[in-house]
Structure 1
C-alpha cells in the first residue's frame, strides 16, 4: 500500500539543528516553508522536505549531513530507528530499517544482499527531482554510525557512490572507497559484516518495539484512504499516457465497479481525481524552469500541447505560460500546496 506524501520530522532533528546553531526561522524562510511544520501534527511533502535540506546545506555547509549525524549520536530516536539498534546483528538492523521506513516517509529503502556484499539504496516515491546531497549524506552516515555503535567496532562500508563532489571530511569518516559525482547513490557493506552481532541486542525490548511498530503500521495502512491510493497510482501512471480506470483498478487489485463505488462513498470520482492530480502536478512542473511546457504536457499524459493549455485555463483562468511568468515575477506568491 502506498504511503501518503506526508513526512513528520522528529524532534531530535530540530534539537540537533539548535546544537549546531542553525536558526529554525532562517531555515524555514530560505526553504519557503510554513511555521506549521514545527507543530506536533506538522507534516511536509517530499518537495518541501527536499527544499528544507537544500536550504540546510546552504546554511550549514556541504558536510551538514555528517555534522547532524555526529550531533544526534546518542540522542533519542524514533522507534522505527531505535528498533535497529537492538537488532541481533548488522544484517537484521538494515532489514528492520527497510521494513519500518514506511512509518517515517514515502521512501522505498532497498537492502539487496548479493555474493559480494549488501547494497542499500533509497528511492523517494513522490520525488520530482534528485534527492539533496545533504540528505543522502545524513542517511548514509547514520547507517554507518548505527553499525559502529551497535557492534562497538569501527566498521567501514565496502564502497559508496555519491552524486556530490569530493569531501575530504566524509572520505576520512567513512574510511572506504567513494565514487564521487556518480549518477546514482548507494552504500555497500561487506557481506561478512552482516553477521557481526550487536552488543545492544535486546530480545525482550525488540519484541515490544516490534509489536508497537506493527500496530502503527497497521493503523497507517488502515487509515490511508482509497482516494490517496488512487492519487498515488495516477501520479505513477501519467507519464505513460492518460490512465484508464481499468488499468488503475487492475494495479490496485480491485474491480472497476468496486473502485467507482468506494470513490463515490469518499466524495470523488475517477475523472475528478485524474483532473485534480494533473492540476497539482502541472503546478509543480511549472515551478521547475527546466521543464518546457511541451514536456509538461507529455508528463501529464496529454496527447498534444493544446489539450494541456485548455485544461490549465479551465483550472487557473490563465495559460501555463502566464502562470509560470507570474511565479517568476513574484516569487513570494508561490502557492502553498496541500
Structure 2
C-alpha cells in the first residue's frame, strides 16, 4: 500500500510556510520533490507526518483541517460533503478513510450518539499529535461546512494536547484520555447538508470503490511483514523463523519473495525498529533502556549505536529536538 502526497497538497503546505524538501530531510526520507506525485509507504508517511508535526503551529493545524482548503485533493472528503446529512457523511468518510492516508476510523453508536475513533493502520503505533488533531478537526469542519451551522461535539478526547486556538475552535473542553474519540449527537448528525450533491456522489462512488479495491489488492508481502513486525518486535519474537512461521512460509521462501519485491527481511526489520524507536521516543516517561528493550535490543548501548546509524543523531539529540 502506498499513499500519495499530491501536488495540490504540496502547494498548500507551501502556502503555510512549509518546504517539502526540508520536511523530507527531517523525516529521513529521500528527496523526491521533483516527482509530480510522490507516493509513500505507510511507515514513510508516518515519518513524514512526524516531520510536519514538529513544524506546525496550532493555527496551521486548523488551516490544514479546514475542508474548504483540502477537499479538492481528497475525493473522500468531497464525497462526504455531497452527502444528505452528517450521519451519511461520517459513514462515507469512515468507509473511504484509507484513500486519504494510512488511518482507519471506527464508529460506535448508541441510541442518541455516534462516537468516532481513529487509528494508524498499525494500531500498536501511537498517532502523531498532528494526525490525530487533523482527523478530529477535519471531521468537525466537514460537519460545519456541510450544514452551514456551528456543530459542537458532545465530547472530544485524546492523549495529545489541545492548544487554546484548537479549544476555541472545538467550543468544548477537550478531555485528556489514553483513548481518542469525538462524540456527536445523532440530532446534530441528522441536520441536512446544504452541500448535498447526489449527481456528484453517483460520479464519485464507482471511482472510490475501485481505488479502495486496488489499495486492498496492492498489499505486498513486505507490507504484511512490516505489520507483523510492529507487534512482534516488542514481544521479542521477531526472528525470520518466527515471522516465516506466522505467514506459513519457510525462511528461504520468504527471503526469495522479498527479493522479488527488491527488499530483504533484515532491511524491513531495521526500518521497523527505527520507526518504532522514533515513536517510543515521543513518550518521555520511557527511559532509553526501556525503549531499547521494546525495539528488540538487550543492551541499551547497542540500541544507541543502532539509532545513530539509522538517523545520524544520538538519542539525546533527537529527544532535545522534541522539546524545542
TM-score, length of structure 1 as denominator length: 0.73
In structure 1, the gaps of 5 or more residues are 250-255, 310-318, 333-338
Counterparts in 2 of 1:36 and 1:128: CA distance versus 1, 3 Å: farther
1:248 aligns with 2:246: yes
Counterparts in 2 of 1:262 and 1:154: CA distance versus 1, 3 Å: farther
1:261 CA drift (Å) = 10
Counterparts in 2 of 1:146 and 1:286: CA distance versus 1, 3 Å: closer
1:189 CA drift (Å) = 0.9
CA distance in 1, matches of 2:225, 2:7: 31
CA distance in 1, matches of 2:287, 2:230: 17
CA distance in 2, matches of 1:15, 1:204: 29
CA distance in 2, matches of 1:128, 1:328: 25
Contact 1:87–1:93 (CA under 8 A) maintained in structure 2: yes
Contact 2:226–2:272 (CA under 8 A) maintained in structure 1: no
Q: Deviations over 1:156-204 (max 9, x none)?
A: 211212444453322332222322x443332111122222222222223
Give 1:312's aligned residue.
none
How well do the aligned residues superpose, as a CA RMSD in angstroms?
Answer: 3.7
Counterparts in 2 of 1:192 and 1:329: CA distance versus 1, 3 Å: closer
Identify which of 321, 328, 335 aligns with 2:313.
328
CA distance in 1, matches of 2:287, 2:124: 11
Give 2:199's aligned residue.
204
1:53 aligns with 2:52: yes
1:264 CA drift (Å) = 7.2
CA distance in 2, matches of 1:70, 1:46: 20
1:142 aligns with 2:141: no
Counterparts in 2 of 1:42 and 1:67: CA distance versus 1, 3 Å: same
- Name the larger-Rg structure: 1
TM-score, length of structure 2 as denominator length: 0.75
Give 2:3's aligned residue.
7
Counterparts of 1:137-176 in structure 2, within 5 Å, are 137-176=133-172
CA distance in 1, matches of 2:63, 2:112: 30
Give 2:321's aligned residue.
none
1:285 CA drift (Å) = 4.6
Q: Deviations over 1:74-97 (max 9, x none)?
A: 762321221111112211111111
Counting matched residue pairs gives 302
Contact 2:112–2:187 (CA under 8 A) maintained in structure 1: no
In structure 2, the gaps of 5 or more residues are 319-324
Contact 2:146–2:194 (CA under 8 A) maintained in structure 1: yes
Identify which of 199, 215, 222 aligns with 1:220.
215
Q: Deviations over 1:38-82 (max 9, x none)?
A: 62341341432232322332xxx2332113334844762321221
Q: Deviations over 1:79-116 (max 9, x none)?
A: 12211111122111111111111223221211221234
Give 2:273's aligned residue.
282
Counterparts in 2 of 1:261 and 1:282: CA distance versus 1, 3 Å: closer
1:85 aligns with 2:81: yes
Identify which of 122, 127, 132 aligns with 1:131.
127
1:62 aligns with 2:58: yes
Identify which of 194, 203, 210 aligns with 2:189.
194
1:218 CA drift (Å) = 1.6
Contact 2:230–2:276 (CA under 8 A) maintained in structure 1: no
Give 1:104's aligned residue.
100
